[in-house]
Amino acid sequence: MGMVDVLSHTLPTNLGYIAAYAMREGFDLEVWDYELEHFLAVKFLERVRDVQPAVIGFSCMTPTIVNGHHIATLVKRHFPHVITVVGGAHSSALPERTLEEFPFFDLVVNQEGEETFLEICRIVRDGDPVRGLVGTTWRDGKMIIREQSRPFIKDLDAIPFPARELYHMVGKQSGHSSRGFSNKLKSTEIFTSRGCPYKCTFCAITATFERTLRLRSPGNVFAEIEDVQKRFDIDHFVIADDTFGLEKGRLETLCEGFRSLGVKSWNCDTRVDCVTPEILRLMKESGCAKVAFGIETGSPRVVALNKKKIDLERAREAVHWAKEAGIKHIEGNFIIGSHPDETPKDLELTAKMIRELPLTFVSISVIVPYPGTPNYEIMMERGHIYSTDWSEYVMFGKAPGWRTEHFSPDDLLRYQKRLNRAFYLNPDYMLHMLLSIRSFSELGYYLKAGKAFIKWVGGGDVMSEGADKMDISDEGFYPAFVSR
């Protein structure tokens, strides 16, 4: 955890899917979310002792893989018979290296997890060793073996809805589900698709889904919305697709369904070439309260280097169309150093574009060379990556342990703060946002986020208290006794 008053805090919906897939066959699962709860080693070990799991799975992105392994180390120290499984974008990109670096993970689930994790549960239940399983990387003595990839699930409608009952604690998260939507709202995430066919050099999605795109049927999406509305009384849906609306005609069908189902509010991320004025009006009418566009740069040269395949004039049009449609929040996502060859001149074009667009929010991050991305390969080849501490691979909150061709680590951080400061501390912007507030709850949200932001741009530490300080001491844990 960290910077939760500035960044989004999402639910473990990926784990909800994996859990539901195994629960359908009678397996008992629990989801423990240590982005929601502060991790205390003794309390964790007591839970493990009381539950007595046969398998513990860890979902780790690049900056959380180190802490994930800290927890796996505790498990193996006290419960060596428990199988520890790790999955996620990082281990999928570097499966062999993950097992080399982190000896207390027993095996990696490569890429999509539902089928493979279910098969692991079956094997362990039957008392057999987990060896040679398709879709895994595992240890055979001192050897590390990567098995062939498991085919992706073709029919997403065949996957049960996420087991939200295992993790859905409305109002317990800090920060926001998406900028502009406090986690005090009754919100949840929903995926209508998996994957993205584009080849952006900075994006790590290829590690998990390669360059595939699979879509759920609109009817299946609507059935999940109805189920969630009945069980959780949801006020806001976060459409968590990597890119919403890629198939022509599908976005319109989904919007019609959202409207028919009485969806109160929803937001999404999409491409500027997926929307038209008509589509954006339909989105607004169906409850869309925010749309975020991935633009990344204001330089046509860098767009081409990124292989983003968008036209910047279309980006300008899309933002203005969203404004004209009356969508409350419009966000532009930008990256400092989105390609390693970006220059100061390119960055000035980005700053100019941000100034000119009628955006409600911006996300201006620093490039992170995530394993599995072309940028990682380029920067490794050039010797521009200095740090192998994966916990430092974050877009906000820490000075990067890498450089690009034209920017030092300090340059990257300085430009990030400069562009964020120019946008959010603009007096006209602050007055506009103040006048848009409609409740004390909303006022409290913006005041808290604003305070954290000002502290960050001023050089202060805005990590949540204890966020980087997991309590991994097992002193005081007694395996045979319940601690009172």
Pick from 282, 279, 263: nearest CA to 271: 279
| Below-50 pLDDT ranges, the chain | 1-6, 170-171, 176, 464-467, 482-484
Contact at 8 Å (CB) between 277 and 304? no
Q: How far is CA 421 from CA 209, 348, 351, 411, 458, in A?
A: 35, 15, 11, 15, 10
Q: What is the pLDDT of residue 178?
A: 65
3-state SS of the chain is CCCCCCCECCCCHHHHHHHHHHHCCCCCCCCCCCCCCCCEHHHHHHHHHHHCCCEEEEECCHHHHHHHHHHHHHHHHHCCCCEEEEECHHHHHCHHHHHHHCCCCCEEECCCCHHHHHHHHHHHHCCCCCCCCCCEEEEECCEEEECCCCCCCCCHHHCCCCCHHHCCCCCCCCCEEECCEECCCCEEEECCEEECCCCCCCCCCHHHHCCCEEECCHHHHHHHHHHHHHHHCCCEEEECCCCCCCCCCHHHHHHHHHHHCCCCCEEEEECHHHCCHHHHHHHHHCCEEEEEEEEECCCHHHHHHHCCCCCHHHHHHHHHHHHHHCCCEEEEEEEECCCCCCCHHHHHHHHHHHHHCCCCEEEEEECCCCCCCHHHHHHHHCCCECCCCHHHCCCCCCCCCECCCCCCHHHHHHHHHHHHHHHHCCHHHHHHHHHHCCCHHHHHHHHHHHHHHHHHHCCCCCCCCCCCCCECCCCCCCCCCCCC
Q: What is the pLDDT of residue 451?
A: 83
Q: What is the pLDDT of residue 321?
A: 98
The pTM score is 0.92
Q: What is the pLDDT of residue 248?
A: 87
Cα angle: 171, vertex 173, 175; to 5 degrees: 110
Contact at 8 Å (CB) between 387 and 336? no
Query: What top-level class would CATH report for the domain 13-146?
Result: alpha beta
Q: What is the pLDDT of residue 446?
A: 83
Phi-psi category of 136—alpha, beta or left, where left has phi over 0 and alpha has psi -120 to 50?
beta
* Digit-coded pLDDT (tens) for 71-112: 999 999 999 999 999 999 999 999 999 999 999 999 999 999
Q: 120-144 in b/e burial notation, b at 16+ Cβ within 10 A?
A: bbebbeeeeebeebebbbbeeeeeb
Q: Kindly state the tokens that stand for 277.
A: 């004025």
Please report, for the chain, the start and end positions of each structural domain, with discontinuous segments joined by +: 13-146, 175-457
Question: Which amino acid type is present at position 395?
Answer: M
Instruction: Report d(CA 120, CA 154) in Å as an integer.
Output: 20
- Cα-trace Rg, the chain: 22
Query: What top-level class would CATH report for the domain 175-457?
Result: alpha beta
Q: Kindly state the tokens that stand for 395.
A: 């877009």
Pick from 59, 63, 69: nearest CA to 33: 59
Contact at 8 Å (CB) between 355 and 187? no
- Only one residue has tokens 């960290």, namely 2
Question: Which amino acid type is present at position 243?
Answer: T
Q: What is the pLDDT of residue 436?
A: 87
